Amino acid sequence: MMKQGYGPQEMTKILDMSYSDLPLHLKSCFLYLSTFSENCTILKDCLIRRWIAEGFIPLRKGESLWSVGESYFKELARRGLLQLVLNDINDEIGCTIHNIIHEFIRSLSTEENFVGEHLSSISYPCDTVRRFTRDCSKQYESGVLSSMTVHLSKVRSLAVSGNTNKQLSDVSTFKLVWVLDLEGATGLRKRQLRSVRSLVLLRYLSLRGTDAYQLPREMKALQHLETVDLRQTNVNHLPQLATAKLVSLLGDHLVIPRDMDDMLELEELFVIVVSRRYSMVNAANIIRKSKLLRVLGVRFESCDDQMGLMPFLDAVNYSNLQTFVVDDYSELHLADGTYELHPTLEDGAVAESLIAEAEAGLAEDPSASTPLEGKPRSINPTF
């Protein structure tokens, strides 16, 4: 896409033509890239989750929303509108946006009221802004959230980072929010988190990298919740969640409640603690019932109960999992030291984007997360 020797005006014309040539569904996905900071690496899995939550990905017969989202990602890359980021074995794990393209989509997003930035009290009518991003750590942006509540009353997507203590005292006024991304936010208080329960249309909640340590008990009221991202937080114990539509449940050390095993739409569960027998039985039930589950990460703790462990591994063995990640198996104890996994688990079945996210900060020691690479036929605690 980016051609040598072209000036700014020529490049703008080329980008205008490229954008006009995009199908309608890809236009929304392309403009959405403007919600991410310039020069950052956008992880593919994170992007697709947000596309899905925004309703940009239509359901196609015989295809999952995830596979459709991946095809959109590949198409934007094929058109040269994003630059792929590859891992060591050339798998696509994310993308970057050229500075000129990023400036183009930021300008276009503002013109089309797709994304709002740098709002003043008179810059937008109160019913216009649908997506809003703000870094509260930037001095020129301080105070904007508290003063712009009425202008953001119909916002659908809200992404806030930096110190939110004085800027985001209550999110309950954003009644129509589908996506709430607080990744990297600091200064979160119980009052702010409790107010999340009022967002009855919420589909996507990210508290990743925040100082949150507990979710409010009233989270079960969020009946449309699809993605909950609690990685790099101190949240370990989950309250009861509405499970009917839950697709992605992500954390570092999640303890799943006993009666939360009916997550029929679940596709990603990462990382859960598998320990005492009831926990292993609960995890096995989740795997058996969640027929769409493709990514599972577990951390074994004090797993010396053969009666509980073997049914869990059997459930993994005969599931539809594409990825099974073991995070620290030092406490996994098997009678003969080895358990054979069913060969239907895919060769090298590792969610590279998920692992890339882990290496970006999921664990202090990236080597602690050990995916079963190659042909994942066995778990051997002596590794």
Confidence of residue 122 (pLDDT cuts 50, 70, 90): very low
Q: Whole-angstrom Cα distance, residue 335 to residue 328?
A: 18
Confidence of residue 217 (pLDDT cuts 50, 70, 90): confident
Is 271:323 a contact under the CB 8 Å cutoff?
Answer: no
Where is average pLDDT lowest: 168-172, 236-240, 352-356? 352-356
What would the mean pLDDT of 200-216 be, rounded to a whole number? 94
Q: Given strand 83-86, what is the order of strands in its sheet?
A: 42-43, 92-96, 83-86
* 305-351: pLDDT as tens digits: 666 778 888 899 889 898 888 876 655 555 555 555 554 444 333 33
Q: Write down the pLDDT at residue 72.
A: 98
Q: Output the DSSP codes for 42-78.
A: EEHHHHHHHHHHHT-S---TT--HHHHHHHHHHHHHH
* 75-96: pLDDT as tens digits: 999 999 999 999 998 989 999 9
pTM of the prediction? Answer: 0.83
Q: Whole-angstrom Cα distance, residue 128 to residue 165?
A: 26
Q: Write down the pLDDT at residue 231.
A: 95
Mean pLDDT of the residues in the chain: 79
128 compared with 325, residue with greater pLDDT: 325
What would the mean pLDDT of 178-183 be, rounded to a whole number? 95
Beta-strand pair 369-371/323-327: antiparallel
For the beta carbon of residue 304, count every other beta carbon within 10 angstroms: 11
The number of angstroms, rounded, from the C-alpha of 258 to the middle of its chain's C-alpha atoms is: 24
Q: What percent of the chain has pLDDT over 70?
A: 74
* 12-21: pLDDT as tens digits: 888 999 999 9
Q: Given a cut of 70, is residue 99 above it in pLDDT?
A: yes
Q: Given a cut of 90, is residue 302 above it in pLDDT?
A: no
136 compared with 377, residue with greater pLDDT: 136
Where is average pLDDT lowest: 124-128, 161-165, 377-381? 377-381
Determine the 3-state secondary structure of 92 from DSSP. Answer: strand
Q: Write down the pLDDT at residue 104.
A: 94
Q: Write down the pLDDT at residue 148.
A: 58
Q: Given a cut of 70, is residue 178 above it in pLDDT?
A: yes
Q: Write down the pLDDT at residue 359.
A: 45
Q: Whole-angstrom Cα distance, residue 87 to residue 80?
A: 19
Q: Write down the pLDDT at residue 353.
A: 42
161 compared with 346, residue with greater pLDDT: 161
218 compared with 103, residue with greater pLDDT: 103
What would the mean pLDDT of 15-36 be, rounded to a whole number? 94
Q: Write down the pLDDT at residue 352.
A: 41
Confidence of residue 149 (pLDDT cuts 50, 70, 90): low
What would the mean pLDDT of 279-298 be, rounded to a whole number? 90
Instruction: List, in sequence order, every residue forming a beta bridge with 365; answer none if it has no partner.
Output: none
On the 0-12 / 13-18 / 19+ scale of CB atoms within 10 A, 224 is middle
* 255-283: pLDDT as tens digits: 988 878 888 899 999 999 888 766 888 88
Q: Write down the pLDDT at residue 119.
A: 45
Among 309, 310, 307, 256, smallest CA distance to 286 is for: 256
Q: Give the number of residues written for the chain.
A: 383
Q: Write down the pLDDT at residue 102.
A: 93
Q: Given a cut of 60, is residue 153 above it in pLDDT?
A: yes
